[in-house]
Amino acid sequence: MSITTAIEQLFEMGYKPSDIVKMGYAKSTVYTIYKRWLKKRVGENAIYIAYDIDYSILDRFVHQLRLLGYNVIVGDSHLDTLELIDLSTIVVAIIGRISGYRRQLLYDELREANSHQKPIIALIEEGASVPTDILKNSIVIYFSRDDIPKTLNNIVRIFKNKSQEPLAPILTAIVIGMLTAFGIVAIMEILRLLLESRK
């Protein structure tokens, strides 16, 4: 078995690069193989999800994006996931009103995305406080779980301004995922607004 195959198998088993270096493999070899292994694992056109929101909403959002055919990487609870941002095409941040255990890591993820000049789409719940420097050059959509019409108005405003940009298709998928994550209330509100607009 080649060294490359052996190291890749260790990664598949869940070992981190630092663990494998401690086993006696050369650091440069381990990290070179790690980068290749990550790139193969992540695939093309990956969406990195940085989050600090209820897990149930996050889970529905990610599930919907995967149903739409997107390759989704969800940030983990440790700094090792920052390496995945470089391999992603876009970063989507979902930020809830109440700051949770992941808030500081979320900020680190957004700073990492900025350092790699990755496009960022931020879904921010009204009432959340986010440092403005980490959201420069980002598409920001404010949402409210309690006021779906206001959220829809924010979405329509963003689409009017961004409909010709290269990110428009992914923005559409993200909005569909977000509304699905909010559940049936959002879908019923959309139907009501559509029916009202026909009158």
State residue 46's pLDDT score.
85
pTM for this model (two decimals): 0.74
State residue 197's pLDDT score.
59
Fold annotation for 43-198:
Rossmann fold (3.40.50)
Residues 6+ apart with CB under 8 A from 37: 7, 8, 11
Question: Which segment, 54-63, 139-148, 184-193, is predicted with the most confidence on average?
Answer: 54-63
Q: Return mean pLDDT, the chain.
A: 81
State residue 111's pLDDT score.
92
pLDDT in tens, 66-91: 888 888 888 876 666 777 888 888 89
State residue 194's pLDDT score.
61
**How far is CA 61 from each of CA 73, 94, 119, 127, 164, rounded to the nearest angstrom?**
12, 10, 19, 20, 24
Q: Where are the domains of the chain?
A: 1-42, 43-198
Among the listed ranges 6-15, 47-56, 155-164, which one has the minimum average pLDDT value? 155-164
Among the listed ranges 12-26, 38-52, 69-83, 176-190, which one has the minimum average pLDDT value? 176-190
Closest of 86, 97, 101, 76 to residue 42, by C-alpha: 86
Q: How many CB atoms lie within 10 A of CB 107?
A: 18
pLDDT in tens, 102-154: 888 889 999 999 999 999 988 888 888 888 788 877 888 888 877 767 777 77
Q: Is it the case that residue 169 has pLDDT exceeding 80?
A: no
